[in-house]
Structure 1
Amino acid sequence: MVSFTLTPSELATRHAARTFATTHLTSAKATYASLPTPQARFQSLQPIYSAAVHAGLIKAQIPAPVGGASTSLIDAAILVEEFYAVEASACLTIFGTGLGLTPLCLAFRAELQPFLEPFLSGEGAPLASLVFSEPDGVANWLEPGAPGLQTTAYRDGDEWVLNGEKIWATNSAGWDFRGADLGCVVCRCVDETVVSNATSPSDLITILLVTREDIQRNGDESFQVLSHPETAGHKAVSGPHIKYNNLRLPAKNLLCAPGTGTAIVTHSFEISAMLVGAMGVGIQRAAFETALSFSRSARGGTVPIAQRQSVADLLINIKMRTETSRFLTWKAAHALLEGPGEHEQRREHALLAKVHCSEAAVQSVLDAVNAVGVSAYSTDLPLADLLSTALVLPIFDGGNVGIRRRALQELITADGYQPWFSSFGEE
């Protein structure tokens, strides 16, 4: 890891990702850009998603111990960077399924294999979703005395009954908006016995598995799409406002019993935090390559504009941010699985990567815009699209201000915190 030299497996991942991006992602915007609604744009990309399934890119996000092909989170970081350097909207749906499967993989038990099987087959276009965010926000979902999650569940005989509204959960409505193939729905248990014994909001957090078959069995009123919000970036991604209404689920659909869900949710989002770092790397890479290529012309002067110090300084800053973002992301990917320390120490770099790389991406695209000048105004260059995507990174997947920096604050202010343990281990 210290040498930052990619292994043969990681080099193969990079090659496969570049090949897929060149073949399928470079033309994706032409497929969806002229369509008038987010739902139409999302649905137009199903053939690309199907190609990703057949290419093994869903199985590649599932850990090998549960039947997938992933043996390294650095592989995942490489895959995300390569895709985001080409086309973010077309690939977030692919990674949304990876995130959707993460709780199932982390809490996997042999009897849950049927839920995972569709995503291992390499066939069709199955979608998974981690269904967490709610219309009123979730930054304070574990704060004592606060309302907490408003999506609730209770046990009724051999079934769980699910109610509530969710929003922004990528893929949560499926291709036809009648539900994803699998949703890991984070909710609050309201059983009287569980509530009476709870000492903190975390004691109530539950995760239920919801399949398309469950929704179909319950009927149309059990699951509704209330709206399809337009978003600043990721213009062809589906993260709708949905509602569960007395959706009845078999007892076997319980992934995490009350009190065990919080750790799985937070661990899932720590992995995704590292991957947002990789998204930021990909965006910065694309911005640098665009600005560098543009700056090699004289633009009416006597020398290429890259030889003007003001422009060169902007390019240098973008390059430095991109490299440091990549190395921090790879460190985070390595640390989550390899350490040092226990999980509490291992997660620090993932949080740092999410905050640093997402904010660096915004600044790097702005620097690229300034280096290019008024020509960035034209959609002939990708900088406007890159900026709209970059602006999303600090606020989605756990906003930097509301969630990620607060988590870092808790880490660094905790009694016994060792500033460099997550980097070097015991000193």
Structure 2
Amino acid sequence: MIDFQLSPEQLAVRNAVRGWAKAHLTTARSVYEGQGASSGKWEDRFRSTQPIYAEAVKAGLIKAQIPKELGGAGGPLIEAALVVEEFYAVETSASLTILGTGLGLTPLIMAGSPAQHEKFFKPFLTGTGTPMASLVFSEPGGSANFAEKGAPGFQTIARMEGEQYVINGEKIWATNCSGWDDRGADIQCVLCRVVGSAPAEDVRGQTAIIIVTREDIAANDPSAYQVLYHPETIGHSAVNGPHLRFKELRVPKSNLLAPPGKGADVVEMTFTASAALVGAMGVGIMRQTFDRALIWAKAEKRGSQETMIQKQSVADLLIRIKTRCEATRALVWKAAHCFGRTRYGAELCYEAKIFGSESAVESVMDAINLVGVSAYSSKQPFGDLLNDAVVLPIFDGGNVGVRRRQIESIFASEGYDPWETTFGPNQ
């Protein structure tokens, strides 16, 4: 029997997060947009959300991104999808900062040793402060082809010197990586190449993940870790994703999380799980879009004798938005259910990311066309929603440069069964 009903436990998670989001995220945009306008500093918008983040820590929303078996309170991927949707159905920037810590912790969850788990999870399990984690992946020159055979690979490199790794290179777009004060997140999982660990042409064999902590940065010369600037983006306007530079930054050998040859596998699995969650972000944005457009259509007459909801052209656009939202949620839930359970669960995660992210952009555009020129006013929410939505197809593995190519590779694999995730193997 197919049952899309949430379990009592899942429903409790959803309701608790929905209540928290309503209480703490509803006014977040007015907080950070007001701060950015008054100071003129981009990074101050991000820093103004720290009290919201602190409330998320107190509510256990950071601890919930670590599995129960590792001391946290987190459950399966479907629960994470429920959380993401409820966040994004209210607000995006402060939400992404909270969720970005979960992404930053995922390589540690997947690849960390028991000793590393005990050491590095500590600040995230106390329920106090505002600890942050970051997956430090992208580089200024582009990273979509980092593992391509014969390619130069990551330009951030590490070399062994005695009992230390010495890191050099530049990174950008890594959510939360510089922390609240530009001296680093509590944990940064840095993708790099380890010099001499594999033949020069084997960039995948050289790729590793090394943990960098705030304590490591503080133990180095201040020039070893520099934030060069904070890129100003058109949406998610209070998110930290700076351009930073490592210069002879030294960390203990014990900070090696994924050794050369394993780093690429770990980061690819990390981004497989996160793909489904980007689909859930799309669902949240579509929920916001539909709710606001429906309110408008039921209230506005625009010079007519009847409200706009009575116009077939308007109703048709609303139907398209609602249908995309429902279809994406079903795909996200299916992908979350299949992740790690079936051979081709990854395919559904990638498809959820592509379909959900592109549907979100299309849905906001439909709402703008539905409302007409009034939607162009900054007093309406649709411009902000569009600015937030347009990043979904291009971040967390761009749909063109990464996600569609990943699906293509699955399709081309020997013995691929296109319907195994639905009907089981060989059906």
Normalising by structure 2, report the TM-score: 0.96
What is the match of residue 168 of structure 1? 173
Does structure 2 retain, via aligned residues, the 8 Å contact 1:348–1:422? no
Q: Which amino acid counterpart does residue 10 of structure 2 have in structure 1?
A: E
Does structure 1 retain, via aligned residues, the 8 Å contact 2:77–2:336? yes
Deviations 1:371-418 (A, max 9, x none): 111221222321111100110100011110000111111111222111
Aligned-partner SS, 1:195:
coil
Choose from 128, 131, 145 the match for 2:133: 128
Choose from 217, 221, 224 the match for 1:222: 224
Say yes or no: does 1:285 pair with 2:283.
no
Say yes or no: does 1:423 pair with 2:422.
yes
Choose from 156, 159, 180 the match for 1:154: 159
Q: Which amino acid counterpart does residue 9 of structure 1 have in structure 2?
A: E
Aligned-partner SS, 2:198:
helix
Say yes or no: does 1:96 pair with 2:95.
no
What is the match of residue 15 of structure 1? 15
- In 2, the alpha carbon distance for the partners of 1:360 and 1:282 equals 11
Q: Which amino acid counterpart does residue 95 of structure 2 have in structure 1?
A: C
Normalising by structure 1, report the TM-score: 0.96
Q: Which amino acid counterpart does residue 253 of structure 2 have in structure 1?
A: A
Does structure 2 retain, via aligned residues, the 8 Å contact 1:100–1:184? yes
Note the C-alpha offset of 1:146: 1.3
What is the match of residue 142 of structure 1? 147
What is the match of residue 414 of structure 1? 413
Say yes or no: does 1:329 pair with 2:353.
no
Say yes or no: does 1:84 pair with 2:97.
no
What is the match of residue 377 of structure 1? 376
Aligned-partner SS, 2:134:
strand
- In 2, the alpha carbon distance for the partners of 1:268 and 1:232 equals 26
What is the match of residue 393 of structure 2? 394
Q: Which amino acid counterpart does residue 328 of structure 1 have in structure 2?
A: L
| Equivalences for residues 332-347 of structure 1 within 5 A | 332-337=335-340, 339-341=341-343, 345-347=344-346
Structure 2: gaps (5+ residues)? none
Does structure 1 retain, via aligned residues, the 8 Å contact 2:81–2:333? yes
Does structure 2 retain, via aligned residues, the 8 Å contact 1:361–1:390? yes
Q: How many residues align?
A: 420
- In 2, the alpha carbon distance for the partners of 1:258 and 1:279 equals 33
Deviations 1:310-341 (A, max 9, x none): 1010000001000000000111111114x233
- In 1, the alpha carbon distance for the partners of 2:17 and 2:65 equals 13
| Equivalences for residues 23-422 of structure 1 within 5 A | 23-34=23-34, 35=36, 36-112=40-116, 113-191=118-196, 194-196=197-199, 200-297=202-299, 298-337=301-340, 339-341=341-343, 345-422=344-421
- In 1, the alpha carbon distance for the partners of 2:306 and 2:136 equals 53
- In 2, the alpha carbon distance for the partners of 1:199 and 1:135 equals 21
Structure 1: gaps (5+ residues)? none
Does structure 1 retain, via aligned residues, the 8 Å contact 2:101–2:133? yes
Note the C-alpha offset of 1:29: 1.1
Note the C-alpha offset of 1:251: 1.0
Aligned-partner SS, 2:339:
helix
- In 2, the alpha carbon distance for the partners of 1:424 and 1:201 equals 38
- In 1, the alpha carbon distance for the partners of 2:268 and 2:113 equals 19
Does structure 1 retain, via aligned residues, the 8 Å contact 2:18–2:87? yes
With over 3 angstroms needed to count, the CA separation of the structure-2 counterparts of 1:199 and 1:421, relative to structure 1, is: farther
Aligned-partner SS, 1:176:
coil
- In 2, the alpha carbon distance for the partners of 1:260 and 1:108 equals 12
Note the C-alpha offset of 1:220: 0.3
- In 1, the alpha carbon distance for the partners of 2:152 and 2:72 equals 38
Aligned-partner SS, 1:296:
helix
Aligned-partner SS, 1:162:
strand
- In 2, the alpha carbon distance for the partners of 1:225 and 1:2 equals 50
Aligned-partner SS, 2:165:
strand
Note the C-alpha offset of 1:72: 1.6
- In 2, the alpha carbon distance for the partners of 1:199 and 1:68 equals 40
Q: Which amino acid counterpart does residue 307 of structure 2 have in structure 1?
A: P
- In 1, the alpha carbon distance for the partners of 2:83 and 2:163 equals 41
Does structure 2 retain, via aligned residues, the 8 Å contact 1:340–1:423? no
Deviations 1:327-356 (A, max 9, x none): 00111111114x233xxx221100000111
Does structure 2 retain, via aligned residues, the 8 Å contact 1:228–1:241? yes
- In 1, the alpha carbon distance for the partners of 2:402 and 2:114 equals 33
- In 2, the alpha carbon distance for the partners of 1:3 and 1:199 equals 49
Q: Which amino acid counterpart does residue 375 of structure 2 have in structure 1?
A: A
Deviations 1:169-209 (A, max 9, x none): 00000000011110000101113xx234x773211110001
Deviations 1:253-277 (A, max 9, x none): 0101111111110000011111100
- In 1, the alpha carbon distance for the partners of 2:71 and 2:221 equals 32
CA root-mean-square deviation: 1.2
Does structure 2 retain, via aligned residues, the 8 Å contact 1:61–1:68? yes
- In 2, the alpha carbon distance for the partners of 1:30 and 1:286 equals 16
Does structure 2 retain, via aligned residues, the 8 Å contact 1:284–1:364? yes
Deviations 1:260-296 (A, max 9, x none): 1111100000111111000000000110011111001
Does structure 1 retain, via aligned residues, the 8 Å contact 2:279–2:356? yes
